[in-house]
Amino acid sequence: MAPKSKKGNSVKKGEGFNTSYTKFLKEVGKQSAERSIKESKALGLSITYVEGGKIIREEPNGKKNIIGEI
């Protein structure tokens, strides 16, 4: 049986407020990260990220250094 929302409407498992809110937060986080990377590059700052289990620092000139592993 599907759980009921506070209003008494049936809500399918995995749907509803929490799923919509999670999708919203993921999208906002993605947009924020993209904007931050773009601004950092414009200011000549390095950026650090994880790719393929490695922690990479990318310098403003495009040079990439592996600084650790996960």
Candidates 13, 34, 49; CA nearest to 59 is 49
pLDDT at 49: 96
Instruction: Kindly report the backbone phi and psi dihedral angles of residue 57, in degrees, each rounded to the nearest multiple of 5, phi listed first.
Output: -110, 120
Q: What is the CA radius of gyration of the chain?
A: 20
Three-state DSSP at 59 gives: coil
pLDDT at 1: 47
Segments making up each domain of the chain, as ranges: 17-69
Q: Would the pTM count as exceeding 0.75?
A: no
pLDDT at 18: 84
| Residue segments in the chain with a per-residue pLDDT below the cut of 50 | 1-2
